[in-house]
Amino acid sequence: MSIFIKNILLDEQTTNISIKGDKIHAIGTDLVPAADDTIIDGANMAAFPSFANMHGHAAMSLFRGFGDDHNLSDWLNQWIWPNERNLDSEIIYWGVRLACLEMIKSGTTAFADMYFFLPDAARAVEESGIRAILSQSFVDLHNPEMTANVRREVEGMEQMICEWNSSHTLTQFSIAPHAIYTVSNETLKFFADFCHRHNLLYHIHMSETNSEVENSLKDNGCRPYELLDRLGILEQMGSHFLGAHSLHLSQHEIELLGKYHCNVAHNPNSNLKLASGHKFLYNELRNAGVNVTLGTDGCSSSNNLDMIEATKVMSLLQKGWRNDPLAMPASEALNVATVNGFKALGVDAGEVAVGKTADLMLVNLDNLAFVPNNNTMSNLVYAAHGDCVDTVICNGKIVMRHRHVDGEEETIREARRIVSKLITVRPE
Ligand SMILES: [Zn+2]
């Protein structure tokens, strides 16, 4: 497939973009389309890289608006866990289809996910036409019997993971230890050995709350990232490490993350809603050499998957808590939400430039957020919402055109139907 986008605004200049196969082949004002190109008229549109949503639980979109405004332990114990017992292949499939639909409609073409039922989730992502690293989440609750079970289960998945990863491009599988407070040191290390052996992403919730840090100091005699360093996991995983949240960090932990070129995924909306904290140490992490990426977290804690909203909130939070209007300008915020995420996923995308993988979006300049259009990037980050996205291309293929996504009506219908099978316990 080849695509020719004509008269498109890119970096405030009107130009043409030629896409061949999965790559951006050429950009220039003097390009002409080939006979078999699919032509997209870019008049009144601007091109931007699409987003990489670097932490979430896609199928939890079915829990949107369920159990809001409770504290974390009530929410988990009374609202979420009793209903997660109902999860099955069909629920996961339609939950992930719903999440992918929302992501496409707001310009996201890649995500890092942590949940269950990998083959069903992958089928939903592949059929949606976007990309994801899907990690199966595990806990052993520091219980030796469960530790042995988790090990057996992961060993049982080994062949399936290797076969899937070697035969698919858009979706890749991994395993994820949920967090240090739900997973024993032995399992944390076993997962790192497994991920290292198979070249997989090690995705884990880290330092999300103050109490997690305090409990680690009490139980382990050190802070969460110091524990992973002591276990040799940061060094072993390096740029294959993805620490979601990473909100409560010491200078020593930041140095460790930088030393091993690790990735972290900041989730500002989730952190604010759950009152986990708001002083994300962006400048400090960036200066230490850490690759900072952005995520929304699942829809049960951030309620939507709109990366434009998350980008704005991230930037405003940096300005706010630092008391510095120059903190995290729009262009830097957009890089965190795009190119940094793709880098962590090992995909050469996140920039609309020749030779890059063709993951990009076209935004509609007739959307009021771009009227008047004094600065396109500024309008995208500070004024727009996901509904400004008109066209989305992933891996050189069109997945949304003029806001039409194939299968949208069916996905909405099935999501509404399946939720009654998922949510059977309603406190209050
Ligand atoms: Zn999470």
CATH architecture of 51-345: Alpha-Beta Barrel (3.20)
Residue with tokens 């990690």: 135
What is the 302 CA–ligand 1 centroid distance (Å)? 10
Topology at the third CATH level for domain 2-49+350-404: Urease, subunit C; domain 1 (2.30.40)
Q: How far is the CA of 58 from the centre of ligand 1 (A)?
A: 10
CA distances from 10 to 19, 78, 330, 338 (A): 15, 49, 16, 16
**C-alpha dist (Å) from residue 149 to 158, 162, 181, 233, 318:** 14, 20, 18, 21, 43
pLDDT tens digit at each of 428 positions of the chain: 899 999 999 999 999 999 999 999 999 999 999 999 999 999 999 999 999 999 999 999 999 999 999 887 888 889 999 999 999 999 999 999 999 999 999 999 999 999 999 999 999 999 999 999 999 999 999 999 999 999 999 999 999 999 999 999 999 999 999 999 999 999 999 999 999 999 999 999 999 999 999 999 999 999 999 999 999 999 999 999 999 999 999 999 999 999 999 999 999 999 999 999 999 999 999 999 999 999 999 998 899 999 999 999 999 999 999 999 999 999 999 999 999 999 999 999 999 999 999 999 999 999 999 999 999 999 999 999 999 999 999 999 999 999 999 999 999 999 999 999 999 999 97
Six token digits for residue 235: 């060094």
Distance between Cα 277 and ligand 1 center (Å): 15
- Give the pLDDT of residue 73: 81
CA-only gyration radius of the chain, Å: 21
Which strands make up the sheet holding 108-115, listed edge to edge?
51-56, 108-115, 131-138, 171-177
Cα(205) to centroid of ligand 1, in Å?
Answer: 6
Per-residue pLDDT tens for 199-237?
A: 999 999 999 999 999 999 999 999 999 999 999 999 999
How far away, in angstroms, is 208 Cα from ligand 1 center? 9
C-alpha angle 147/152/158, rounded to 5°?
125
Give 90's contacts (C-beta < 8 A, 6+ positions apart): 120, 418, 421
Place of tokens 């899937």: 164
Alpha carbon of 362 to ligand 1 centroid (Å)? 29
Contacts of 132 (CB under 8 A, 6+ apart): 58, 110, 111, 112, 113, 121, 122, 125, 170, 171, 172
- Residue 267 Cα to ligand 1 midpoint, Å, equals 9
Detail the DSSP E strand segments found in 331-370. 360-364
Please state the domain extents for the chain. Answer: 2-49+350-404, 51-345
Inter-CA distances, 241 with 3, 195, 355, 395, Å: 35, 10, 26, 24
State the DSSP string of 68-88: -SS-HHHIIIIIIHHHHTT--
Strands 263-266 and 291-294: parallel
**Distance between Cα 305 and ligand 1 center (Å):** 13
What is the Å distance from ligand 1's center to 17 Cα?
37
Q: Which residues have CB under 8 Å from 411's CB, separation 6+?
A: 94, 97, 98, 101
How close is the Cα of 248 to the center of ligand 1, in Å? Answer: 15
266 CA → ligand 1 middle, Å: 11
- Maximum CA pair distance of the chain? 68
CA of 111 to the centre of ligand 1 (A): 13
**pTM, to two decimals:** 0.98
The alpha carbon of 114 and the centre of ligand 1 are apart by a number of angstroms equal to 7
Distance 297 CA to ligand 1 centre (A): 5
**Rounded distance, CA 382 to CA 332, Å?**
13
